[in-house]
Structure formats: C-alpha cells, structure tokens
Amino acid sequence: DTEVTQTPKHLVMGMTNKKSLKCEQHMGHRAMYWYKQKAKKPPELMFVYSYEKLSINESVPSRFSPECPNSSLLNLHLHALQPEDSALYLCASSRDRGPVEKLFFGSGTQLSVL
C-alpha cells in the first residue's frame, strides 16, 4: 500500500474563513510534507515533519498552520487566506528524512480563495 490520502479534493473559501486540509498515510513513514503547487510549476516545499516534529518551515506565512497529531496524520489549518494562496496543496510522505529516498504524494486539495 503506497497511498497517501488527502481530503477534501476541492475547497472554496472566503478570505475570512477558517478551514483545514487533512492528510493520512499508513505506510509507517516517519516524514510528512506539505507542498504548494501553482499550475504548470513544480511543487514548492512549505513544511516538513520528521517523527511528528516540525523540522522545516520554508518561511511560510502564519495564515498557514501545520499540525501533526500522530505519525499517520498531517493537517494544514488555513485562516485569513489571500486570493494568491489559491493553488493545489499536496501532502507527501517518505520513509525517513535522512536520507530522503522517495516521496509519495497524495492526490492534492485544489484550493480556491475568493
């Protein structure tokens, strides 16, 4: 089973809303990631969790707040987003962080901010 599950698939929100993106993997991977991707561009790293601890925050605005409740789950809490935050948000996992061998991605959440 090489599956990373993301919900919801699509999300439309206003700039004053609070919403959360969810990600789950049951591969026993100890590193989980959030990426942001604009159309026809490569994914851009936002956050990395290693062994349930935040290890990398790529200078992401505080309106994005990650959470790792346990080794299988990763959330991204959204608050007061801007229209330019509209993008495909991808969750990924890898067996470990050192070294990273392969990343497995979920199918993404297509976010539109109105």
Partner 1 sequence: GQQLNQSPQSMFIQEGEDVSMNCTSSSIFNTWLWYKQDPGEGPVLLIALYKAGELTSNGRLTAQFGITRKDSFLNISASIPSDVGIYFCAGPNTGNQFYFGTGTSLTVIP
- Residue number, 78 or 111, with CB nearest to partner 1: 111
- Residue number, 71 or 107, with CB nearest to partner 1: 107
Q: Is 66 in the site for partner 1 (CB under 8 A)?
A: no
Q: Which two tokens stand for residue 98?
A: 């050192």
CB 46 within 8 A of CB 64: yes
Q: Is 53 in the site for partner 1 (CB under 8 A)?
A: no
Among 45, 60, 73, 80, binds partner 1 (CB under 8 A): 45
Q: Please list every residue from 83 through 112 that binds partner 1, using CB under 8 A.
A: 88, 90, 92, 97-108, 110
If you search the block for the tokens 């994005």, which residue do you land on? 64
For 70, the enclosing helix (H) or strand (E) is strand 64-70
Q: CA 64 from chain center: how many Å?
A: 10
CB of 82 to partner 1, least distance (A): 21
CB 35 within 8 A of CB 45: yes
Q: Is 42 in the site for partner 1 (CB under 8 A)?
A: yes
Rounded to whole angstroms, the maximal C-alpha distance in the chain is: 40
Residues in contact with partner 1 by CB under 8 A are: 4, 6, 40-43, 45, 88, 90, 92, 97-108, 110
